[in-house]
Structure 1
Amino acid sequence: MQRPPHSYRDDPSVPVFPDELPIVVFDGVCGLCSRLVRFTLWFDGPRERHRFIAAQSPLGEALFRHYGLRYDVYETVLLITGGRCLMKSEAVLALLGTLGPPWSWLAQIGTLVPSPLRNATYDVVATNRYRIWGRTDVCRRPPPGAEARFLG
């Protein structure tokens, strides 16, 4: 569901949170999603340009609900940037685009693929992510030194 920028600020069911940096909302029990977060932390390094929210947290669930998404089965990563919510392949490519070369180059190449094909590929990966990359019973703890970058 497409909503105006920063619409979550007007939704009383969404707790107030700092949104001046891009925020990745991810499935905290998914092995692939946790790897994406660690990958982002590694390549973002000391610049600290991103924050993270586990979808299973109260804030993560409220954001999924706000955008009309299922909050019992997380079918997409969300990237909230500039108050806009990006989903699926658009979110992943935008996130890669912030990490500098070679990842930003890969993101630019990825945008050449038509969105329906990108999202169909995303859906296949999302459907099989637990089987391929595993699943944990609880959200993993943030890496040492990165705790302040995790919200919710």
Structure 2
Amino acid sequence: MPDLPKDKKIILFDGVCNFCNDKVNFIIKNDKNDSFRFVSIQSETGKKIITYLGIDPALDTIILYEPGYAYFIKSEAVFRIIKHLSSSVKLLLLFNFIPTSIKNLIYDYIAKNRYKWYGKNENCLLPSEDINSKFIV
């Protein structure tokens, strides 16, 4: 298992997905308490974390890993992330009453179509200097 910060929540994301990269930038902008660190699922570190957690590497989802606690996927990960973001973003928690099975259907629909709608890169994008410390390589 890679050496991970114990006091940060780790978000594993699709590093070649334009939609996913946009959402990572959104989270960074709204993470006023510096709660999160980011790892591309395609990176060696991402693969090691997935193996350590026993997650199917073919699983097409965002993963929120809280070291020493648990991990969460799909809509459950999204809503747990939102809880830690700035107050204006927390308005999205109003949708958390929707049953997880329905939220995951919506999540899966977006995940299935994200490349078609938003495109993808050949390689993972490199973070800019000002946010580089938010990423685990």
Deviations 1:64-120 (A, max 9, x none): 23334342x45110111253101100111111111122211212x121000000001
The runs of 5 or more residues in structure 1 that have no matched partner are 1-13
Superposition CA RMSD, Å: 1.6
State how 1:15-94 maps to structure 2 within 5 Å: 15-45=2-32, 47-71=33-57, 73-81=58-66, 83-94=69-80
Greater mean deviation of Cα atoms: 141-150 or 118-127 = 141-150
Pair 1:115 & 2:95 matched: no
Deviations 1:11-64 (A, max 9, x none): xxx22222311111101000111011100111125x422110011111111222
Identity %: 29
Aligned to 2:83: 97
Q: With the length of structure 1 as denominator, give the TM-score of the two structures.
A: 0.82
Aligned-partner residue type, residue 131 of structure 1: K
Aligned residues: 136
| Aligned counterparts of 1:116 and 1:138: Cα–Cα separation in 2 | 32
Pair 1:141 & 2:120 matched: no
Q: Give secondary structure in 1 for the equivalent of 2:3.
A: coil
The runs of 5 or more residues in structure 2 that have no matched partner are none
| Aligned counterparts of 1:121 and 1:68: Cα–Cα separation in 2 | 25
| Aligned counterparts of 1:32 and 1:17: Cα–Cα separation in 2 | 25
| Aligned counterparts of 2:108 and 2:52: Cα–Cα separation in 1 | 21
Q: Give secondary structure in 2 for the equivalent of 1:111.
A: helix
CA contact (8 A) 1:97 1:105 kept: no
Q: Give secondary structure in 2 for the equivalent of 1:99.
A: coil
Aligned to 1:6: none
Q: With the length of structure 2 as denominator, give the TM-score of the two structures.
A: 0.90
Q: Give secondary structure in 1 for the equivalent of 2:31.
A: helix
CA contact (8 A) 1:78 1:88 kept: yes
